[in-house]
Amino acid sequence: MTDHREPNVDDAELDDDLLADDLLDDDLPDDDLASDTGDQLSETYYEHLNGADLYFEVAPPESGDESAQTLFYLHGGPGYNALTFRDLVGERLSAYRVVYLDQRGGGRSGPLDDTDQGGDTLDLDTLCADIEAVREFLGIGRIVPLGHGFGALLALDYARRFPGHTDRVVVINPWVQFPDLALTLLREASQRQNVKLDDPRALVEARTPAGQHPAVGAARIEAAFALINARDLLNALHFRDAPSRMRLEFADVEGQLMGGAEVQQALVNQGLWEFEYPPFLSEIRKQVYVLAGLDDRTSYPEQVHWLEDLAGAEVTLLNAGHYPWLDDEDAFVEGLEESLAR
């Protein structure tokens, strides 16, 4: 385990929206436009692939080296976008070819209702198939899935499904066990409201008919958000301090890409809060690297330990929150570069 920590910064009370509810700019991007990303020009695409209108950008390596590693950045949310990460840290990744994909229904990609599968159908199978469709379209042999938060789940499952097209996997503050994540949120909400933790698991299991799966995760998350609204609770767990949160929010507003509720609801309808990925981790045959922010209590330590124990992941610890490039960009880039060079 690599430790890239620096002296800690005191937590601050956080509020306001992590993500707003509405997409501010409804204009669809033009195909194959050049997008300025610092010293590079990236190719911009808006293609109908795997039944969805997908927006993605490809930033070439500054050196022009065709053999440079190809990173597929997979944002979190779910339903967020790749633009903010590209704008905030893309210049530091100029040694690599980077594909910034807005997942179906998120960011600049088309809405879920316009997909061939329909707005009610969204699952891990479909999202991983989207990644593979983009890889095939671009004609890239092997990629490094680079997933953040919920996107880490996609990165891991892509590697499991398509090992022949995966070099290695790098995940940032992963989420893989959602009933446990719901319990983390409920525990934090209870502490902040100074009430005793009341885990509804036993009650839900007792009331669930034989042969049916008890919706423990959904019950936990409902109880957590009844104590503290979702955005305030997630802000408190995600960010090391208020300036980091404000920097992300300013970047989101500048990019005019805020939303994700449609995607989130579609996944919740498919049982997101009951999803447990750890049984699949042992099937991943590629090396997994984790960049873990010590101040991201949604991921570290519980979620990260699943990857250590079952996927043999190598973990780099950062003195940062859920978005480590906001808190210590140098340490984040150094940790990423080390993961890509090993």
SS3 state of residue 319:
coil
* 70 in Cβ contact with 99 (< 8 Å): yes
- Residue 175 CB burial class (10 angstroms; 0-12, 13-18, ≥19): buried
Written as six digits, the tokens of 72 are 């597929």
**Higher-pLDDT residue of 299, 40:** 299
- Residue 94 CB burial class (10 angstroms; 0-12, 13-18, ≥19): middle
Give the mean model confidence (pLDDT) for residues 300-304.
98
pLDDT value for 119: 87
Q: Alpha-carbon distance 303 to 215, whole Å?
A: 20
Q: How confident is the model at residue 25 (pLDDT cuts 50, 70, 90)?
A: very low
User: pLDDT digit string (tens) for 132-184?
Assistant: 999 999 999 999 999 999 999 999 999 999 999 999 999 999 999 999 999 99
pLDDT value for 29: 44
Give the mean model confidence (pLDDT) for residues 242-269.
87
**Higher-pLDDT residue of 3, 222:** 222
Q: Domain boundaries in the chain?
A: 2-177+257-341
pLDDT value for 4: 55
Give the mean model confidence (pLDDT) for residues 55-66.
96
Asked whether the predicted pLDDT for residue 260 surpasses 70, the reply is yes
Which residue shows structure tokens 């880490």? 152
Average pLDDT score, the chain = 89
CATH classification for the domain delimited by 2-177+257-341, as one of 3.40.50.1100, 3.30.540.10, 3.40.50.1820, 3.40.50.970: 3.40.50.1820
Asked whether the predicted pLDDT for residue 202 surpasses 90, the reply is yes
* 233 in Cβ contact with 189 (< 8 Å): yes
pLDDT value for 1: 65
pLDDT value for 187: 98
pLDDT value for 16: 35
Q: How confident is the model at residue 262 (pLDDT cuts 50, 70, 90)?
A: very high
Give the mean model confidence (pLDDT) for residues 199-228.
97
pLDDT value for 258: 66
**Higher-pLDDT residue of 241, 36:** 241
pLDDT value for 284: 98
Asked whether the predicted pLDDT for residue 222 surpasses 70, the reply is yes
**Higher-pLDDT residue of 27, 80:** 80
Q: Alpha-carbon distance 39 to 131, whole Å?
A: 26
Q: Alpha-carbon distance 135 to 1, whole Å?
A: 31
Q: Alpha-carbon distance 103 to 54, whole Å?
A: 7
Asked whether the predicted pLDDT for residue 243 surpasses 70, the reply is yes
pTM: 0.88
Alpha helices in 14-149 (DSSP H): 83-89, 124-138
pLDDT value for 3: 58
